[in-house]
Structure formats: C-alpha cells, structure tokens
Structure 1
Amino acid sequence: MSWTRETLKARRVRYADLVPCRNAFVDTRTPGSDRKENFTIIGPGVSENPNQHIHIAEPHGFNVGGARQPEGCLNSQHSHESAEVFIVHSGHWRLIFGAEGEDGSVEVGPGDIASVPVHMFRGFEKLDAGDGFLFVLLGGDDPGRVKWAPSVFELAKEHGLVLLKGGKLVDLRAGEQVPEGAELEQAPNADEVARLVTPTAERLAQCVVRHDQLSATEGAGLNGRGVEECPVIVSRHSGDGFAPGPIVGWWPHGFQVRVLRLSEGAQTPLYHCDEPEVLLVQRGRVRVQSSAGDVILDAGDTFTSPQGWAHRLMSDAPAEVVVVRGTDTPAGPVIAP
C-alpha cells in the first residue's frame, strides 16, 4: 500500500481526542468506581457497553486501551482470560489482589509497567490528587470477557445494572429491559473463586518493572547515539537479540514490550517491522519520519505503524516511548541498508 501523510495520521490517536466511556462496565455506579473513564484505542477491548467508541478497529493480535481516574476512584475486582498489562502514564496507583482485595497490593507510579497474571482477581485504585491515566494492553484480538468478583454483582444490582450472558450491560434505571429469554450472567461460585488463586508476593514481584530499573539491551537494533531500547516484557528470545526478561510470565502475552529512550536530537535508524508495532508516548515529543511525510506524537498519543513501512523516530528533546511488538517472538526491526 502507498501511504500518505493523511492516511498515516489516521493511525494516530491523540490523547486529547480520546473518547471516554463512563458506563463501560457493570460496576459503573458502584460508589468509588463511578467516576472512571474507559477507552478502547486499538481493538474492541472488554467493554460491556456496545456503544463504547473504538478508535482503531484493525486487528493487531492484541488490544490497547486506557483508564483515566481521579483520586480515590476504584476499578472493581475482576479476572481476565488473557494478558493484562498496565503502563502508568500519569499518577500513582495501587493494584489490589484477591476477590475482595484480601491478597495484598502493590503501588506503581509514572513509567512503571505491571503485567498481572491471568486467572486471578485484580482491581486498581488511583491514589493521588488529580486525574491519572493508565495505558492497558490486553492479549489477543478477542481478549474475552471480564469475570467479576461476587460482591460486584451484588452492588450492581443495588444500582440498577445487570449483565447478560455474553457480556452486554442492561441499565434498568435508564428504562432498558432485559430481553425476553435472555440469560443473566451469574457471579462466580465459591469453587470458581477458589480456582482463581493469587500467586505469592514473590511471584507477583516478577511481574512489575519500575521505571528506574529500565536497562538498555546492548546491541539492540534501534540503539545508537542517544537511543536506548530497554526490554520490559520478553517471554522468549526475539529475533533482534532480546533475551527473556525482565518480565517473562508463565502465561502467554502475544506481544513484547520495550521502552525506547531518546535524548535531545537523537534518531533511530530507518527501519520497518513485519509484525504489528504500536508506539505509546510516555513523555516528550517524537517525530515519526518517512518518505510519506512526518507524523508528530506528543505525550499520551498512540500510533500504530503499518507493517513493512520504512520509518525512523526522531526527537528534539528527551523523549520516552513504549513500543509494543506483536507476537511472543517478534523478529524485530529490519534496518534499512
């Protein structure tokens, strides 16, 4: 395909242009959870509201979403069938474990990245003043449905919300009716809850990378003067020289995550990728340069690079970009001769 600057700009989602859904899930009216905003940036996500806006529908093998919450706002306890990765863009957060939050927690801040194992309950709470934003990665083109903790169903019923089998939300207070013959989603029973076991604190610690722990991989393809590529989630050896770690996981992710750091005036070599590549700008401003023209990305913006498309990243000031590469074993960037 021949790309133009306009078609490339359609692959950019500006942070300022994100369209929130304020009633995406069955806990949307639960006190403490009623002020959150959910976003589906790439892929359908796991929203229970059929009116949730999807910015880019093109399948990537993974989903990119987001959550924006003010101080004290909770995302209720739930479990996922596929990988869920939190990338802290702004604010300080507490990740809470166990069906009722009884299995401990871990706090994360700007630049930290956590991958929560599948088949366990987790929730998250914004801790400090003002709004904070998390990028959220989900494994697969169809990441399945959320399994909520029992108390979530009880509170939702009190506030006029019910969930149908298949994941559709019905708002009784808004005058919506449960369709005739429809089956309601039921809370997990005691046996189901018992199977969703929280790993030990020691194992969970292997699933978090702090911003100040990022370390460049020597010889990475995009490294150069003022450019460092740091591994975050690498489950198996990649084609461009990344060894497993620091987050490996004992469950499939379907993608790898790196952090690219650019100093003032730095640029990567010209390259392309044969697998999906998504850029999430953590800080600074990045110029994506190609023969079709430049695309500017600011902090909080998302851009998905066309596969096989030659480009380079440039920055006039220090910048940091989270790079998501499709598959568990990506070949990585192919450097132009």
Structure 2
Amino acid sequence: MKRRRVVLVAASLVALVVSGSAAALLTPGRTRVADGPVHLVALNYVAFAYAVGRSQDDCDHVELWDMAGHGHWRFGRPGPCTNLGSTGAGISALGVSGKRVLWVRYNGGNERDWQLMTATTTQKTPKQLRFVPQDVELPSPFAIGDSAEGIGIPYADHNEVVLLGENGSAVFKHVDQSRIVAVTAGAGPGNAIVAALRDTGDVVLLKRNGTVAWTASYPAGAVKAIALAPTGLVVQLGDGSLERRTPAGVNWTGSLPAKATMTDYASGHVLYTVGNQIRSLGTGTGRDALLLTGAAAKVPTVATIDRRGFAWGRGTTANFTCAGCVGDAW
C-alpha cells in the first residue's frame, strides 16, 4: 500500500540528520525536466503526478507521467499566467489515481478564489469540480490526500469527505460532524479505506460505503500528519512522536527528530523531511537513512513513496526510481 507517513532516534542519528551528506544517495532511474520548479508530487502505483510552478514563459500547471507505459501528459495549455491576484496564486495540493489527477488552485486579492480541479489523460482540459471564494486570511477549504492502487483520490471540502473514483464519480460522500483538515486513503484495518483528520483532533476511519469503521481519539491540534496502511493508521504528533493504531489499539510507537515532518509511508518505512533532507525510518528495523538532499534553490525538494516506487521533485526535475532500486538505501 502506498503512503502515509518510528523507533526512537538516538543522539548520533540526530547529529547525522543535522549534518547530512553533501550528495543525494538515491539516483533516478528516469528524469524529466520541467519548465519551472517541481513543488508537489503524488505517486499511486505507476501514476506519477507533479505540479510545476510558473516561470517567465509558462504558467503553473500539473503533469502526469505513466511509469509503466511511459506516457506523459500536461494539463492546461502552455503560456504565461494572466490575471494573477495581488496576494498570490498557485497550486496548493495534488492527488492522483490511475489516469486521473486532482488538484487545488488558488488566486485572488483580499478575497481568494479556491478551485478544485481535475483532468485525465483523455480529457486534458482541466475541469472545475468545486469553487469557494473566501477571505484571503482563511486557510484552503479543500484537502487532498494520498491514495493506493485502484482506491481513488480522497478529498475534503469543509466537513464533507469524498472519495473520487478514477472514472470521475464519487465512490462515496461522507458528511462529518466536524471540519476535515487532512485526508488519506489506503487499505487499512477494520475495513477502513479513508482516514480523515477532524479539526477537533480525532481521526475518523471510513469504509468504502462512507460509513464510519472506527475512530482514533486525539486532542485538538495534536496530530501533525496521517497515513493509512494495512498495518494500521500511522500518526505523527506535534511533539515528533509517532504511533501506529488499529481498532484494537496502538501496535507500534516511535519518534522523529525535532522539526521533522512525516510526508509519506509505504512498505514499513516512514518518509520524512528535516531541514533540506529527505529521510526514511524503518518501522521494523529502526534504521534511519538519508535518501536525498535538497537542491540549491528556494523551492524545497519534495518526495513520495509507493510500494512500487519512489518519486521526487528537485529543482526543475521530476525523478523516479523503482521500489526495488531503493534497495539498501533504506
């Protein structure tokens, strides 16, 4: 199963995290050069989606790369951006499943327009699914989460959770009692297929029909990141500690270095960032490994893992290597 974000890190490992290595340990099996900085990535089985920031000659957009058939598609026509708002514009979230991509676009001045957009390899013109105008000071009304093979793309709009199928139809729609601030999808325990983080702190686990499978209780603001895997719900708390839970309770605990953020989880490995480094932590072995170092640019290196591969954006490049190619690196 794919992503979603381990063992106590000793002082020597923390020192390694701070100092790091001058060169990336992983090398890509395949690379594409984009027109601008690659700042968001999503990987689901063989589908690799990434968001490209705007450049002098091109507007920000989303691209999809099929790592099996080697097809490549760009969504939105090339060309410079027009009518940019005074308080910023761009793409803030991204998800992929099969030949479908879902993303959040924003633009505006004192009032910011938020758009939930989708496209496919056969319908490359982006289609707006939802539109929310609101005060620029308010956070995005939408959240998009990671997913696994064939499940679809989870997203939230305020207190509604939707699992969008690859065919563009909703697998389910769940109206929750609270606002949802993060979502993720995967084949989890207790027939759970989507995990949704409430602004109250709890994580609600949903079945394929949208009903509640089980709930994990946390204080408001305690949860920093979530992931869903067959072995359980993986949670990073604000103090850096991690735990993996099933309906029966906690079955594993660990921790990350200070200021680290869990960004993904697959095949028993937590992927996390700290400083300009991308690192992994093995939940079974306890091994903490440096995988990548950031590019010498203001756009951070971003990475994601799936049980079949590892993908990352570094500078203006989109990179992929097979899961087996990661090998001894983690």
TM over 0.5, yes or no?
A: no
Normalised to the residue count of structure 2, the TM-score between the two structures is: 0.29
Could you say which structure has the larger radius of gyration? 1
Which structure's relative contact order is higher, taking Cα pairs within 8 Å and 6+ residues apart? 2
